[in-house]
Structure 1
Amino acid sequence: MTKILLSLHVLAAIVAVGPVTVAASMFPPAVRRAALPRGTGTGTETPDAGGGPPEADTVRLLHRICRVYAGLGIAVPLLGLATAQAMGVLGDTWLLVSIALTAAAAGILFLLVLPRQEELLERVTAGGSVERSGTARLAMVTGLFNLLWATVTILMIVRPGSTTGA
């Protein structure tokens, strides 16, 4: 059963967290492109289906990917806890640190990244301006989210001090 749980945990992490990290990283530059004034070499001048510049469709899609896959990402820690229980490592330091980092990453995603994306998406869709500092802050917070997930991944592989693996 442990191998099945571990396989599901890893698959969930790849399928759910991977798209969020990529889409969230692509979001700030997509917003900057969408917020460019008309006639600045963005290509077509036809408005998108949801209003705003044509590039707003890309911004909307990236935000939807982040939102949907963030919801699916709840499976990752749930399967991780089930796997840890099956492996008998719930009290191991590497796992406790991973849980704390996962909670921090989730907090950053749900409290900072997604709300800021929604705000910027509304501005872009309405044809409003977007300050570069606003997208830079979002990029920084997104980078922190991605760094936390990379750290958790490394902890899951290396498991420092563990007696059950590497």
Structure 2
Amino acid sequence: MTKFLLAVHVLAAIVAIGPVTVAASMFPPAARRALAAPDDARAAQTLHLLHRICQVYAVVGVVVPAFGFATASNMGVLGSAWLVVSIALTALAALVLAALVLPAQTAIVEGGGTREKTVRLAMFTGAFNLLWAAVTILMIVRPGSTTGA
């Protein structure tokens, strides 16, 4: 059962978190292009699409920690330091996405964009992506783990 849960957890992370990180990273430069050419309908459509991808996959991404908890519970590692840190970083990444990235994208898509806002959004997106990179590294390295990493 552990292998199944771990496989679903890893696949969910790839399928759900991957698109959010890529689309969120593509959004600020696309927003700058759209701001530079306000009459370009294609640029506006691109922004809407990238924002929608981020919204949908953010919701789908909830399965990642759900299966992560199930996997950790099954492996008996819920109290491990590497896992606790990774859970905290995951929660922080979710907070950055929900409280900073998505609202900033929404404001830009709804016509409230400025160059300064796209720069700030790029910073928030970078922080979100770095948090996920740190979680991924912790999941692979598992410092202090006794599970054979």
Q: TM-score range by the shorter chain?
A: over 0.9
Identity value in percent: 67
Q: Structure 2 counterpart of 1:6, which letter?
A: L
Kindly provide the amino acid, as one letter, of the partner of residue 139 in structure 2.
M
Q: 1:35, CA displacement in angstroms?
A: 1.0
Following TM superposition, the consecutive aligned residue runs of length 4 or more in structure 1 with deviations greater than 2 angstroms are: none
Aligned residue number for residue 62 of structure 1: 50
**Which residue is equivalent to 1:82?**
70
Per-residue deviation, 1:132? 1.5
Q: Are the aligned partners of 1:159 and 1:165 in contact in 2 as well (CA < 8 Å)?
A: no
User: What amino acid sits opposite 1:140 in the alignment?
Assistant: M
* Greater share of residues in helix: 2
Which residue, 130, 136, 145 being the options, matches 1:162?
Answer: 145
Over alpha carbons, which structure has the higher Rg? 1
Count matched residues. Answer: 149
Which residue matches 2:28? 28
- In the alignment, residue 12 of structure 2 is paired with which amino acid? A
Q: Does 1:111 align with 2:107?
A: no
How many Å separate the matches in 1 of 2:139 and 2:146? 13
Query: Contact 1:24 / 1:63 at 8 angstroms: preserved in 2?
Result: yes
Q: Counterparts of 1:4-153 in structure 2 under 5 Å?
A: 4-37=4-37, 48=41, 54-123=42-111, 130-153=113-136
Q: 1:15 offset after TM fit, Å?
A: 0.1
Query: Residue by residue, what CA displacement relative to the aligned partner does 1:131-158 show, whole Å, maximum 9, x if unpaired?
Result: 2211010000100000000000000000
- Tell me the alpha carbon deviations over residues 10-31 of structure 1, each in whole angstroms, 9 at most, x when there is no partner: 0000000000000000000101
Q: What is the CA-CA distance between 1:78 and the residue it aligns to?
A: 0.3
- TM-score, with structure 2 as normaliser: 0.96
Mapped partners of 1:37, 1:15: distance in 2: 33
TM-score (norm 1): 0.87
Residue identity in the other structure for 2:90:
T
For residues 65-123 of structure 1, the C-alpha deviation after alignment (integer angstroms, 9 at most, x for no partner) is 00000000000000000000000000000000000000000000001100110000001
Q: How big is the alpha-carbon RMSD for the aligned residues of Structure 1 and Structure 2?
A: 1.2
